[in-house]
Amino acid sequence: MTQTSDAIEARTASQTTIVLDGTEVPFCDGETLYEISRRHRKEVPTLCYDDRLDAFGACRLCVVEVDGFRNPVASCTTKATPGMVVRSTSETLERHRKTLMELVVSENTGGSARNGNIDVDPLRGLKSQELSNLATRYEVDGTRFAGATSGKSRQDDGNPFILRDYDKCISCYRCVRVCAEREGDYAISVMNRGFHTQITTEFDSKLEDSACTFCGQCVQTCPTGALADRKALRDAETPGELKKTRTVCPYCGVGCSVDMLSKGDKIVGIHPAMDGPANQGALCIKGQYAFDFIQHPDRLQTPMIRASNGQLVPATWDEALDRAAAGFLAANRDHGRHSIYAIASGRAPHESAYSVQKFIRAGFASNHVDNCSRA
Amino acid sequence: MRTPNEPAPLLPLLHAYHDRDGMLTDDALREISATLKIPLADLYGTVTFYHFFAREPGGRDAPRVCDGPICKLKGCDGMLDALAAEGAKPMPCAGRCDEPIPVLRGGEVLTGLSVDDLRVRPTPLPPAYPGDDEECVFAHIREPGRATLDGYRANGGYTALESALRDASPGAVIETIEASGLAGRGGAGFPTGRKWRAVADAAGSPKTIVCNADEGEPGCFKDRAIMDYDPHAIIEGMVLAGFATGAERGFIYLRYEYPKTLEILERAIAEAESAGMLGDDIAGTDTEFRLYVRRGAGAYICGEETSLLNSLEGKHPFPRNRPPFPVTHGFEDLPTAVNNVETLASVAPILRNGAEWYRGLGRGEHAGTKLISLSGDIQRPGNYEVPIGLPLRTLLDDWAGGPQPGRSIQAVTMAGLSGGFLGGEDLDATLDEPSLRGKGSFLGAGGIMVFDDTRDMLEVAHGAMRFFAHESCGKCFPCRIGTQRLTERLARDAGPAALDAWREEVADIGATMKATSACGLGMAAPLITESLLRYFPDAVRAHFGD
Amino acid sequence: MSNPLSDMEKPDVIFAIGTNMTECHPVAATRLKRALRNGAKMIVADPRRIPLAEMADLYLPLRVGSDVALLLGMAHVIAREGLIDQEFLETRTTGSEQFLAHVAEFTPEWAESICGVPAADIEQAAKWYGAAERGAIYYTLGITEHICGVDNVQSLCNLVLMTGNIGRPGTGINPMRGQNNIQGAGDCGAIPANFPGFQPVTDPANQAKFEKLYGKKVDLERGITKVRALERAAEKTMKAMLIVGENTAVSDPDRKHCEHALTSLDHLVVIDIFPNETTALADVVLPATAWGETDGVYTNTERRVQRVRQAVPPQGEARPEWWIIAQIAKRCGIPGFEYESAKDVFNELCSVSPIYRGLDWDRIDKGEYHWPVPEAGHPGTPVLHETEFKNGRGVFTVVGYRDPAEVVDDDYPVWLTTGRRLQNYHTRTMTGRASGIDYLQPEEFLEVHPDNVTAWGLEDGGMCRMSSSRGSIEIRVRATDKSPRGTVFCSFGFGDVRVNDLTGSGYDPVTETAELKVCPVRLERV
């Protein structure tokens, strides 16, 4: 207890403040102006920011005014120092932000966006609405600063998972950074420079010929939908509200949290859960893309029992359950409790394994139960 | 192939393969990736950033023709056409504005105004000193043999180092440099003594001295003159910087466009090593300093010190976010002083002659001298060492002979291109930062290009903006998109048809670039359009047919 | 795992052995990669030059099945170099005298003669791990799927006990569980020796507790393992079997033996989501709900208890397993299966399991608890063995090297080792039915060192016949220097490449885990 209260005291003692939009607010050592602003619900816009990545300072939308600095500073890369006087918004800042938005939308759409309506299907990816939302917020109609567009879509990359629609790319480098900093694969990089900047791979190859592992992390951080979930987009026209259900990946033992996306009765995709305790937003190819086995036509749809001709034939639940029970009762009666065995699944939830072992232990006074961990 | 055992191995390895194969093949990149453990995608991306590295067969030896602002005036387009059959490609200003047009072919630079005229010519020496004051950096540069160790020693070379190592403390060296008022001559103007003190005080080792010899600013060619004719002055300055800060290694980051200079520097370093002025027992005092030359590969942004450090480290040469600054987190995240060639060449003379002497070289309250690379429509182009505070008109008219007969000066650029244009009455400025900042410009690296009354300033501005767009690294949005949009608007490829709307777009883009860009490139580029509109509104109007 | 996944970013020395983590636990591997970015050193021991080996500071390419020799050599060096944590040894362990006397004779040179790793590298690995501030060991089935799997694990434990690399952040001994809820199956008591919560069935107190709960006598003896049960089925002394969600016929070694055992049963009930080789042998097949169709709980490899939730209605007439089993139980006249929901079942589990006692359905909503959680309000236990081991002191085990059950000879001169690949999972019942996966890996292939491809007259991309003493399969050859010379690799994922027709040379005597990682084979071009 003393240790804890000491720690709190020490923190309070070292706690210092800045003035943010006229209010004195405390901050912790190392906190950036952006982090403090967000903590205080200031709506500082960003496009290159992802809180899982090192601050990068590219989009410059998050600039704030700091007394004593000639120019606005990027709040994402500027650490607070005691006594700073900071304005997260002002007429000048909003004018610069609007100009920046007009510039970036002009690069992205070449002036083809209409009435601020940059249409991006949310199935493209978790963060795919960021640009269009900001365009709406800043009433950017897409007509100003018209000119050349940058980025060339890779129509030739036929991989079934990741659509590389670089016409929509704004070169925020979030895909490059997530691949390096979070996934550690270093499959994505950037080639050329200036307006000719292009997100690429080794030798500008297709993803399948690169170091890409198809974890989909680049898709899920892309703020424009330029990198998009090709599997989910198959259901772009499927009717129904997009629903998210928090669950845990069914593959390996890491236990990554995901949000299952469904429309009506159909599962259409997966989003990584950024607040997932085991994975903190990370996924692999299986968790991200190998979800559609669930609704595969091969699924067992009805109970089946072996008929007298030796064939498995469909049955009602009552018939099948009666038959199942009868067989165990017969074995117990004729050969004793140790003639029955059960193997629980390491894939099914607890309730399955628990029921299996209780069935054997409580039902037959036996410990003849195991699971598939030895396979 | 050079071994990767030396520090900063990527650029030497890339050049070695590039020279061997005439290009960078996929296999070469795979080998380098495996050797240096740089992810292949990153390496590929980084290679494409540098315009010199060729990825197609024979690409390395295709002629590169300078299409900088002065060469544009002197007919580089014709040169490019004439060499088209050899696969000639344009390169941005290659630093021969005093003797255009430079063409890089294979390992050497030729110059000439036409194909027939092309030959290897030595770097022009600075003209005889035309002033009444005293030079510092150029004081001995015109002496024959100055580039050799003996020639350098003949006039007190290395005595400042020897006496500092024997008799002075690092702190005393820093105090002298601080007292002299010497400030960064690459353009940023940060006080050199203060920078060294910060490195000396910073925790972490080994520390590093980097000589920024990536003289990429169009219209600047002063560093080349120093390196070609007085290389030991730089070496002495670097070792002194190392002594003052506690750094034991140094790099000279040299632009690729100066292949002859590379040879001169390497020869001078070898001489200095054998004379015990470099190595692990300098001047018999147990002081250690090792010096390496690293050749760039064509990226203006690598003149920005944090891009340069990334480039040295083999990373993608984007500028870094600051803070932290290189003085604490520089090369390999360790304390580093990055100094310009001219700054370092000033160090030994200051230590020999004293801080007061150097301060006294400036006019009025200004301390010291500045090298100016003067080129364009002027009778005697070349490098001049001016006392800081000299009137611009004195340099143009008295020192350099003024414009060609019958012409008048319409505009000059400042800081190469980065300071935009000066024109009209503002040509009465004096050559010091307070005067020039007052006119919305700055002295910077000291390149001044002169345009007489025959020149179309809109075309000049377009060429300048095209350069900035070409050299924008692509990281921050305002610069990457802004330079492109301004270039389009100056060419009138895109943008509003009406003048008022055009002005408004150009002004809005410029204001946001200046306020929000991440480094100096994006902040400087809009000075071009700003000064164009300020000094030449009629030319702009004429462009719209008004 | 003794330590949580988040700790994987904290070690200064990582020792990864027998784990192809980037392919089998890719998200856990991202944490190790971040540790490397932070400056950690990594030692990787694996017969194959797996992606992790490419990232390693020191790669130890050991011969399959020779882990004990390598680890004895390392223990020898740690002792010799004075890298033992004496305080830890004295306060937290027992049996060190015999152990240290034992390892004195196993020099790195001796280890090299068995495992093929240069003695100098063994020394380096031992010095790094031994001197680590925070040394962490990670392993998976490359350690356990051997006849000496227990010896391997105990050899690793010995290294941990020598160096005190346990009980602190960024340390520990960390097996990575291969299946989403294999940890949970054990937690729930689906193992022959333990009631739920790892309460030994042979402990009279536990017996009394469950007798009271069930209202009837319980078995006083441990049950038998699955391996033994299949043997008894083949001998016709095991008569009835319930199999849930496992394709036993394919995923277990020595497939012919498995099929024979299952067909010998009088009564086989299989609950699964897809028809497979095992459902084909069943008397009753019952369709279960799949992931996304049912509520429930999984426990991950770091003992984190997390909820899964229903997002869509079940396919056809599929029902949750707990419902199906409850219905069978009721029809068998077994009381205590009056559940209305998964929540009822889980809360009952919490009430009988000491490691879950502080949990219930609602409390695990956000998944922040690592068991044991002995009472409500307890914060959970991310790091095990902080101050003491479960049974007091950590016990050193004297372990000797043994050859694999079968070793290469003139008839079967090549080592085959098996595992998984990134894109596919297990027997591909799930990934094989997920669209797009085929695009990346349309078929299984055998990884052979390029020199061996030439020397053995095979063709890169051509087919070969691979035979062991138990069977023979055909498989496509792929030349790659991921495989060492003399050792080949394939996964067991594809039904048309029945690699478990070949495996099954032996079992660990304690756990009865099959030696799937070692199988001498012969290759011929076809």
The 3-state DSSP class for residue A84 equals coil
- Can you tell me which residue has the tokens 């949990």? C359
**Portion 59-88 of B in contact with A at CB < 8 A:** none
Give the number of domains in chain B: 5
A147, A188, A194 member nearest B488 (Cβ): A147
Q: Which of B438, B241, B506, B452 is nearest to B351 (CA)?
A: B241
Residues B425 and B471 in one domain: no
Cα–Cα dist B465/B484, whole Å:
8
Residues A206 and A131 in one domain: yes
Angstroms from A128 CA to nearest CA on chain B: 19
Q: Is residue B142 part of a domain?
A: no
CATH classification of the domain holding B520 = 1.20.1440.230
Q: How confident is the model at residue A41 (pLDDT cuts 50, 70, 90)?
A: very high
Residues A273 and A311 in one domain: no
B299: chain A residues, CB-CB within 8 Å: 193
Are C284 and A303 a contacting pair at CB < 8 A? yes
Angstroms from A253 CA to nearest CA on chain B: 29
Among B432, B452, B472, which residue terminates a domain? B452
Cα–Cα dist B360/B363, whole Å:
8
DSSP B271-301: HHHHTTSSEEEETTTTEEEEEEEEE--S-GG
Closest residue, chain B, to A58 (C-alpha): B476
pLDDT of B195: 98
Reply yes or no on whether the pLDDT at B310 is more than 60: yes
pLDDT of C93: 93
C395 close to A (CB below 8 A): no
pLDDT of A117: 58
Are A147 and B495 a contacting pair at CB < 8 A? yes
Residues B106 and B249 in one domain: no
Instruction: Give the list of residues 6+ apart from residue B252 with CB closer than 8 angstroms, or none.
Output: B210, B211, B213, B234, B238, B265, B291, B292, B293, B294
E strand or H helix at A332, and its extent?
Answer: helix A317-335
B497 close to A (CB below 8 A): no
B46: chain A residues, CB-CB within 8 Å: 189
More confident residue, B207 or C389: B207
B488: chain A residues, CB-CB within 8 Å: 147-148
B516 close to A (CB below 8 A): yes
C27, C237, C286 member nearest A284 (Cβ): C27
Residues B311 and B210 in one domain: yes
pLDDT of B4: 56
Residues A74 and A145 in one domain: no
CATH classification of the domain holding B433 = 3.10.20.600
Residues A258 and A365 in one domain: no
Structure tokens given for C344: 């009822």
Are A359 and C242 a contacting pair at CB < 8 A? yes
Cα–Cα dist B428/A228, whole Å:
58
**Portion 282-301 of A in contact with C at CB < 8 A:** 282-287, 289-296, 298-301
Are A196 and B474 a contacting pair at CB < 8 A? yes
Are A358 and C337 a contacting pair at CB < 8 A? yes
A55, A60, A106 member nearest B516 (Cβ): A60
B504 close to A (CB below 8 A): no
C233: chain A residues, CB-CB within 8 Å: 341
Are A200 and B488 a contacting pair at CB < 8 A? no
User: B147 and B231 in contact (C-beta within 8 Å)?
Assistant: yes
CATH classification of the domain holding A169 = 3.30.70.20
Is the Cα torsion angle B365, B368, B373, B374 positive or negative in sign?
Answer: positive
Residues A152 and A223 in one domain: yes
The 3-state DSSP class for residue C416 equals strand
Angstroms from B40 CA to nearest CA on chain A: 6
Q: Is residue A254 part of a domain?
A: yes
Instruction: Give the list of residues 6+ apart from residue B395 with CB closer than 8 angstroms, or none.
Output: B372, B374, B384, B386, B431, B448
The tens digit of pLDDT for each residue in B426-441 reads: 999 999 999 999 999 9
CATH classification of the domain holding A282 = 2.20.25.90
H helices present in B385-472, as ranges: 392-393, 433-437, 457-471
Angstroms from C359 CA to nearest CA on chain A: 14
Residues B300 and B164 in one domain: yes
Residues A186 and A215 in one domain: yes
More confident residue, C255 or C222: C222
The tens digit of pLDDT for each residue in C39-95 reads: 999 999 999 999 999 999 999 999 999 999 999 999 999 999 999 999 999 999 999
Among A209, A233, A257, which residue terminates a domain? A233
Question: Average pLDDT in the A57-80 region?
Answer: 96
Residues A204 and A269 in one domain: no
Q: Which of A366, A335, A330 is nearest to C217 (CA)?
A: A366
Q: Is residue B133 part of a domain?
A: no
B529 close to A (CB below 8 A): no
B304 close to A (CB below 8 A): no
Q: Is residue A3 part of a domain?
A: no
Residues A293 and A308 in one domain: no
pLDDT of C268: 98
Residues A132 and A25 in one domain: no
Q: What percent of chain B shows pLDDT beyond 90?
A: 96
Question: Average pLDDT in the A179-198 region?
Answer: 96
Residues A139 and A56 in one domain: no
The 3-state DSSP class for residue C357 equals coil
The 3-state DSSP class for residue B82 equals helix
* Disruptive mutation site among A34, A98, A193, A203 for chain B (greatest number of B CBs within 10 Å): A193
B472 close to A (CB below 8 A): yes
B476: chain A residues, CB-CB within 8 Å: 57-60
Question: What's the whole-number average pLDDT of chain A?
Answer: 92
Question: Average pLDDT in the A17-27 region?
Answer: 96
Q: Which of C223, C237, C16, C251 is nearest to C140 (CA)?
A: C16
Reply yes or no on whether the pLDDT at C306 is more than 70: yes
Residues B342 and B471 in one domain: no
User: B412 and B392 in contact (C-beta within 8 Å)?
Assistant: yes
pLDDT of B187: 86
Residues B166 and B260 in one domain: yes
* Disruptive mutation site among C6, C22, C27, C176 for chain A (greatest number of A CBs within 10 Å): C27
A307 close to C (CB below 8 A): no
Are B48 and A107 a contacting pair at CB < 8 A? no
The tens digit of pLDDT for each residue in B247-280 reads: 999 999 999 999 999 999 999 999 999 999 999 9
- For chains A and C, count residue pairs whose Cβ atoms are closer than 8 Å: 478
Reply yes or no on whether the pLDDT at A42 is more than 90: yes
Ordered structural domains, chain C, with CATH: 5-176 (3.40.228.10), 182-356 (3.40.50.740), 414-525 (2.40.40.20)
Q: Is residue B471 part of a domain?
A: yes
Reply yes or no on whether the pLDDT at A309 is more than 60: yes
C428: left (phi over 0), alpha (psi -120 to 50) or beta: left
Residues B436 and B425 in one domain: yes
Reply yes or no on whether the pLDDT at B321 is more than 90: yes
CATH classification of the domain holding B103 = 3.40.30.10
pLDDT of C390: 73
A41 close to C (CB below 8 A): no
A248, A306, A354 member nearest C188 (Cβ): A354
Comparing A118-122, B359-363, B419-423, which segment has the lowest mean pLDDT?
A118-122
User: B238 and B199 in contact (C-beta within 8 Å)?
Assistant: no
* Residue A26 CB neighbour total at 10 angstroms: 14
Question: Average pLDDT in the B155-172 region?
Answer: 96
Question: Average pLDDT in the B353-380 region?
Answer: 96
Residues A134 and A219 in one domain: yes
**Portion 196-235 of A in contact with C at CB < 8 A:** 208, 213-215, 231
Are A184 and C317 a contacting pair at CB < 8 A? no
Structure tokens given for B46: 């980084």
Q: Which of C264, C255, C244 is nearest to A331 (CA)?
A: C264
Residues B159 and B38 in one domain: no
B375 close to A (CB below 8 A): no
Residues B464 and B423 in one domain: no
Q: How confident is the model at residue B465 (pLDDT cuts 50, 70, 90)?
A: very high
Instruction: Quote the domain boundaries for residue A141.
Output: 114-233
A340 close to C (CB below 8 A): yes
* Disruptive mutation site among B307, B485, B521 for chain A (greatest number of A CBs within 10 Å): B485
Are B41 and A170 a contacting pair at CB < 8 A? no
Instruction: Quote the domain boundaries for residue B420.
Output: 369-452
CATH classification of the domain holding A22 = 3.10.20.740
* Residue A157 CB neighbour total at 10 angstroms: 17
H helices present in B305-393, as ranges: 305-313, 341-353, 355-359, 392-393
Residues B25 and B89 in one domain: no
B476 close to A (CB below 8 A): yes
Residues A229 and A239 in one domain: no
Q: How confident is the model at residue A2 (pLDDT cuts 50, 70, 90)?
A: very low
Cα–Cα dist A373/A344, whole Å:
10
Cα–Cα dist B19/B31, whole Å:
15
DSSP classification of residue B394: I
The tens digit of pLDDT for each residue in B135-147 reads: 999 999 999 999 9
The tens digit of pLDDT for each residue in C107-137 reads: 999 999 999 999 999 999 999 999 999 999 9
A159, A255, A363 member nearest C180 (Cβ): A255
Closest residue, chain A, to B511 (C-alpha): A96
Question: Average pLDDT in the B193-201 region?
Answer: 98
Closest residue, chain C, to A306 (C-alpha): C283
Question: Average pLDDT in the B450-455 region?
Answer: 97
Residues B45 and B83 in one domain: no
More confident residue, A346 or A1: A346
B481: chain A residues, CB-CB within 8 Å: 103-104, 106-107, 145, 195
Closest residue, chain A, to B506 (C-alpha): A145
Closest residue, chain C, to A264 (C-alpha): C312
B311: chain A residues, CB-CB within 8 Å: none
**Portion 486-525 of C in contact with A at CB < 8 A:** 511-514
User: B237 and B348 in contact (C-beta within 8 Å)?
Assistant: yes
What is the longest distance spanned by two Cα atoms in chain C?
Answer: 68
- Can you tell me which residue has the tokens 């061996």? C452
pLDDT of C510: 82
C-alpha angle C63-C65-C71 in degrees, rounded to nearest 5: 85
A286, A341, A369 member nearest C431 (Cβ): A286
Q: How confident is the model at residue A239 (pLDDT cuts 50, 70, 90)?
A: very high
Structure tokens given for B469: 């767009």
Q: What percent of chain C shows pLDDT beyond 70?
A: 100
Closest residue, chain B, to A64 (C-alpha): B516
Q: Is residue A127 part of a domain?
A: yes
Give the number of domains in chain A: 4
pLDDT of C253: 74
The tens digit of pLDDT for each residue in A90-138 reads: 999 999 999 999 999 998 876 555 444 578 999 999 999 999 999 999 9
Residues B184 and B286 in one domain: yes
